[in-house]
Structure 1
Amino acid sequence: MTETLFLTSDDVAGLATPAEYVDAVREGYRQRGEGAPAEPRTKLLNADPKGMLTSYAAVLPDTGAMGGYMYAAGFGATDAWFMTPLFDAESGEPLALLDGASMNPYKTGAAGAVGVDALAREDASTLAVIGSGAQARGQLRATATVRDLDSVAVYSPTRENREAFAEEMDGALDASVEAVDAASEAVRDADVVVTATTASEPVFDGDDLSPGAHVTAMGQYNPEKRELDTTTIERATYVPDLRKRATTDAGSFIHALEAGVVDESHVHAELGDVVAGTAPGRQSDDEITVFDSGGTGIETVAAASLLHERASAEGLGTTIEFLPASEALTGRD
């Protein structure tokens, strides 16, 4: 029998800063670039009641942890529930089980920021955000830790939402944050563009991107849906979180592939390859780059391990017990 820590959303709240999440996730992607195992998400769709059961996983040997996400969305409750199991990468024993929803914007934002740090120009100071929800907030807070931002323009279709986002984030960051009335207004002249939406169709025109811009797209992981148009993919050095995603659920790339504007060789490298230095990142100031972030076990395990360590040090959480299979399968009464 082994003792495992169960961590609620309240347990993990505030345990790490955006910068600490970014450091942990960057280290996770470095390990991926050096061969750490990770697989894209698997989605099981249910028609009635309509819902989705999703899972993905990664092993981070140097972090000493492995695990991932399993979550349900939709079904009768029309909500989402995130569970994050974390295992010891040496012994295989379960370390923790986390209520993973509250860390989601932080770990996903950290992945986006690692993409910005690896691919955006060093002097990038203007940012456009398309979207105004929790994920957009997470992306902005994390990106502000890797680039010295002067100004941020945010657009989302609902005026009240984008204005509330701008007011909140303007007070939270050193940068000036302003709501604008069109995606094109936000994207033009932006050094970095972040899309964090639930849109099914492209959220800006790729012709509006300035030379040297970087784009992080994180809102879609569905072959039928896309945040980026074919122009953006065609113009850009394209870097996904996992190469396998490019032709399975990276809708923006799949649409560009089907339109014939790119082929599979257009995938430059995985993010981990760039972080680890096994593939080059940006090679010129005028180059347009894209990081397609669909979500992986890499950032999930990295973030969960960070939270587990902090919670253990602070005596947080509840201990639960697991039997190893050698005992559980012996027919005990």
Structure 2
Amino acid sequence: MSVATVHVPLGDRSYDVRIGTGLISALGSEIAPLLARPRIAVVTDETVAGHHLEAFREGLAAKDITMSALALPAGEATKGWPGLERSVEWLLAEKIERNDVVVALGGGVIGDLVGFASAILRRGVRYVQVPTSLLAQVDSSVGGKTAINSPAGKNLIGAFHQPSLVLADIGVLDTLTPRDFLAGYGEVVKYGLLGDAAFFDWLEANGSALAAGDTALRARAVERSVEMKAEIVARDETELGDRALLNLGHTFCHALEAATGYSGRLLHGEGVAIGCALAFETSARLGFCSQED
């Protein structure tokens, strides 16, 4: 299967999103051009480490790149002050310098946490996103929004810090549970609702095949979602205008996540799907659109 490339044009902070299968196996070739020295630091979670860390290590070894790794507990609860402190202190202990590269290997929690840790470590260290969930591949790994949660709310402490590269290996989606995959699908459908009716119709027609594991269809869904997000981010990197469109469904979603204690009772993608439904219901009741729409 060929690898697609979506470019995110942000001047000297521009980068590519690579989408396809086998990217983890080819990791050394993909990441080597970024390295000042042949080593990286990887932050992941315990679940992802069990599935992918050894293949990750082998992909790097093929180009004589070494790695050290930190595996944090899986789940939204990790995306807070303790998880951030543990990550930053570990990176300092690993003697990561400003010209080194940190890799976020995981879903949205790890991507957000590691991106923020990279933003504040030594006043800014480069990082690479290797998203392992559908939600992270189509949304949180692209655009440079990094954050942790606080008792006051979700994603309230963070920074805009663009990655140097995003590697979305479609093959890793096979390790997701059906619930995790469908949660990410809520973010994919959001892009269809944001102004691409043809994509929405395509998702409706191919939803069952996507869920069943059709790799080519999954790659196309990720590619189109990333294309749409890249276009919006290029116009409005720091969310002063159009980028707010990407928050469709998120107001209700964040309230629901806070109410459930950022636990496994509600996955982020599930919250987005529910939030979109509630947003449209509210709009209909306020007369902004018809109930039929």
Q: Is the TM value for this pair above 0.5?
A: no
Larger RCO: 1 or 2 (CA < 8 Å, sep 6+): 1
TM range (shorter): 0.3 to 0.5
Structure with greater helix percent: 2
- TM (norm. structure 1) is 0.31
